[in-house]
Amino acid sequence: MRHPRFSRLLLLAALPLVAEGQAAPDPAAVELFVAKCASCHTVGKGPRVGPDLSGAVDRRGRAWVEKFVAAPSTMLDSDPQARELLRQFGGVRMPDLGITVEQAAQLADLVTLCSGTPCDLQGRFTPVTQATADHVALGRDLFTGRAALQNGAASCISCHAAAGSGAPIAGGSFAKDLTHAFARLGDEGLDASLRAPAFPVMGKVFAARPLTADEAFALRAFLDAANRTTGATESVASLPLLALVSALVVLWVLNAIWSRRLRGVRSTLVPRPRQENLS
Ligand code: HEC
Ligand code: HEC
């Protein structure tokens, strides 16, 4: 019952208005969605870490969606529909994202609008095919720490390795080798993961020190080049195991060192191996 026939007709009737921009999505809501939601959700382009939100407002009711978006933690264990979603998504918990009641209403409007007419919720996405050799070089320097990240986050190489980084040391084995991350995630998926990492460990590190759009673009250019110019430099078979082991090491280290600061995150870290299956 997502689109009763008469509302389809209404939609068709409204198309000329849409073309004139009268029903265009609120730019502030789009910006908010791109910054806080797009790394885990699309509206009509399939599930990511979380469900495709197309029709979610019809499915759950507006009040439910607004309440959930503003504070998922208050519903994930108690609300039957939220618990069922949590089960479907392998125990990955949508985090509380500091969304106000007004913002939740804006986002519900956006989801409703974009469930009917496709919206561009990718933000200022520049495909990596437009990158130049300079972008690749900058991305390499940002990756290895030769160039500092503007907002002060640790360079990628402290946790990741990637072929073609040209670094004297091999790079961290803390997290996944990123040589073929471009192939795994695709251009848009990589952009979303870099600009708002949904990964428990990396997200915590980058939440307060986000990459700028230019840095994310340069890093994508570098990872695209790494993916294309190198053969199999990683043992694909051992990747899941490596990822699991490094996740456990990271969990253990963070638990030991940052147990006070990260208390709220621990529960999200535990189901990580299941999230791995979804990525
Ligand atoms: C870190 C990933 C992540 C982020 C970021 C995120 N979500 Fe979610 N979302 C999920 C997951 C996973 C679920 C499924 C429930 C669960 O397991 O927690 C979900 C469920 C939902 C649902 C219920 C969908 C349904 O089918 O009923 C809505 C609505 C929703 N999210 C909206 C949002 C909005 C709006 C934002 C941005 C403010 C957002 N989410 C940010 C992961 C995320
Ligand atoms: C503090 C350690 C740390 C730093 C620094 C870090 N990452 Fe990560 N990254 C991780 C971990 C751990 C994961 C696996 C998911 C998780 O648990 O967060 C990950 C996952 C990823 C993924 C997803 C890989 C895949 O194939 O699913 C990408 C892409 C990525 N990181 C890119 C980067 C880039 C680019 C930088 C530098 C700007 C960076 N990371 C810096 C720890 C880090």
pLDDT at 276: 47
Q: What is the pLDDT of residues 192-237, one digit of tens each?
A: 788 777 777 788 788 778 888 889 999 999 999 999 876 544 444 4
Ligand 2, atom nearest to 153 Cα: 5
Other Cβ atoms less than 10 A from the Cβ of 31: the count is 12
Q: Is the CB of 167 under 6 A from ligand 2?
A: no
| CATH number corresponding to 25-116 | 1.10.760.10
256 phi, psi to nearest 5 deg: -70, -45
Range ranked top by mean pLDDT from 7-16, 17-26, 91-100, 192-201: 91-100
Q: What is the pLDDT of residues 27-41, one digit of tens each?
A: 899 989 988 888 788
Residues in CB range of 246: below 8 A, 6 or more apart: 173, 174, 175, 176
136: pLDDT strictly greater than 90: yes
pTM confidence score: 0.56
279: pLDDT strictly greater than 50: no
121: confidence class by pLDDT, cuts 50, 70, 90: confident
Query: Which residues of the chain form CATH 1.10.760.10?
Result: 25-116, 128-237
pLDDT at 270: 52
Q: How far is the CA of 53 from the centre of ligand 1 (A)?
A: 8
Q: What is the pLDDT of residues 144-169, one digit of tens each?
A: 999 999 989 999 998 999 888 876 66
Q: Residue 162: which of 145, 183, 146, 140 has the closest Cα?
A: 140
**225 within 8 A of 182, measured Cβ to Cβ:** no
Read off the pLDDT of each residue in 125-142 and give the average, rounded to a whole number: 92
Q: What is the pLDDT of residues 47-69, one digit of tens each?
A: 877 899 999 999 999 999 999 99
Q: Which of 41, 89, 113 to mutate to test the pocket of ligand 1 (most atoms within 8 A of CB)?
A: 41
Task: Tell me the Cα Rg of the chain.
Answer: 20
Return d(Cα 138, Cα 155) in angstroms, integer: 13
pLDDT at 156: 93
153 phi, psi to nearest 5 deg: -75, 160
**65 within 8 A of 108, measured Cβ to Cβ:** yes
CATH for the 128-237 domain, from 3.40.605.10, 1.10.8.60, 1.10.760.10, 3.30.470.10: 1.10.760.10
Return d(Cα 43, Cα 113) in angstroms, integer: 10
Q: Which of 149, 188, 199, 265 to mutate to test the pocket of ligand 2 (most atoms within 8 A of CB)?
A: 199
∠ CA(174), CA(92), CA(161), 5° rounding?
20
